[in-house]
Structure 1
């Protein structure tokens, strides 16, 4: 069984050229800084032609099965989605994993408790 993190943005106006360029920069920076090989656990945006009506961005990330990789992947993806939200103004965002919505904080962005706790990350790495 796999768990995924889902993210989407909705608004009436489509992305502007400047916003599209900003989105591309965020995705490129995420891929360049991603600590693990492959694309399975990375930030992944669905192709624009697959979007639902009113949806200007949407994507998902499959969470790793390796407990030692879980929190770094979550932190990296949520940091990137935070950057996307800040680059695309005026949209209604939803970030969630199954029934759990990830809260938004104007200062911190998207975050889950403990996702940057080095002791917890180390402990999960030993499982």
Structure 2
């Protein structure tokens, strides 16, 4: 069984050239800083998700290794936060299967405990 983190942004106005370049820069930077080369990182579908008005869409498969779970989720949510801030006026949906990830204006997309060092150590030790 696999679990994935899904993200999509929609708006009536398509991406501008500057926004497209910003998305490409963010994706390249975030992928190069991804902590695990053998795990799936930020992945955007070509042409959005194919739904009307979607300007960005993608998914990331969550690793089964408990020690990698929180670092991958944190890195991917930080990436999506950066994308959201670069694309004003878009409506976003970010979710792990059926669970919506909340947006916080200050912190971006976060889940409780995703940066908890003790929890990460505990999961890594399983």
TM range (shorter): over 0.9
Distance (whole Å) between structure 1 residues aligned to residue 5 and residue 86 of structure 2: 20
Q: Say if 1:50 and 1:97 are closer, same or farther in 2 by CA, change over 3 A.
A: closer
Query: Is residue 113 from structure 1 mapped to residue 120 from structure 2 by the alignment?
Result: no
Partner of 1:60: 59
Partner of 1:45: 44
Aligned-pair CA distance for 1:126: 1.0
Query: Is residue 91 from structure 1 mapped to residue 70 from structure 2 by the alignment?
Result: no
TM-score (norm 1): 0.96
Where do 5+ consecutive residues of structure 1 fail to align?
Answer: none
1:63-94 CA distance string (max 9 Å, x none) = 00100000000000000000000000100000
Q: Which runs of 4+ in 1 moved over 4 A?
A: none
Distance (whole Å) between structure 2 residues aligned to residue 74 and residue 49 of structure 1: 21
3-state secondary structure, aligned to 2:95: strand
Partner of 2:72: 73
Where do 5+ consecutive residues of structure 2 fail to align?
Answer: none
Aligned-pair CA distance for 1:99: 1.4
RMSD, aligned CA: 1.0
Number of corresponding residues: 126
